[in-house]
Structure 1
């Protein structure tokens, strides 16, 4: 469980930054070189590379170097960590709102009789 939480923390940390989310959005359309991705960002290449390293260390992207070109690709399977967590949260909140609805409904029925 602790490993799962650490993985989740890494992914959410990576998703917390708008630049990194923009990179993931772009990579959702297909692989791109670091220089292509950096052109869309408003920062220096060394600063942008920090974002790439964060995304790579979180497992959200994979990079491969061929000659002088580093290409980035989205790792869609890694998003399953977030999907699983969100599904669990949704289930818990659905159960809670269902219980609240039952409580309110039964209280209303008792007060009208």
Structure 2
């Protein structure tokens, strides 16, 4: 349905999927440590998964870090809804650049 991208390098940071109860958000988050056998690899991390439904406020957010080192980015429910609305109206996936995390960002 859509992709959330880093505004600095256009790297895909999360993907959006249509789900029966809303929008599913899936991201692969890099870990602070590296794998001993692959110190420069991108395999160490964890999966972030969230459901965006109608009850979630637009300002609900989570921080994301780009695999290429860009951090202090935030994904909001509004970003996900914007991409979903564009997909539903055109039938094409939408790439949405993430916003920088401000001091008043809700987590």
> TM exceeds 0.5?
no
Which structure has more strand as a fraction of its residues?
2
Which structure is larger by alpha-carbon Rg, 1 or 2? 1
Structure with the larger RCO, 1 or 2 (CA within 8 Å, 6+ apart): 2
- Give the TM-score taking structure 2 as reference length: 0.27
- Give the TM-score taking structure 1 as reference length: 0.27
Which structure has more helix as a fraction of its residues?
1
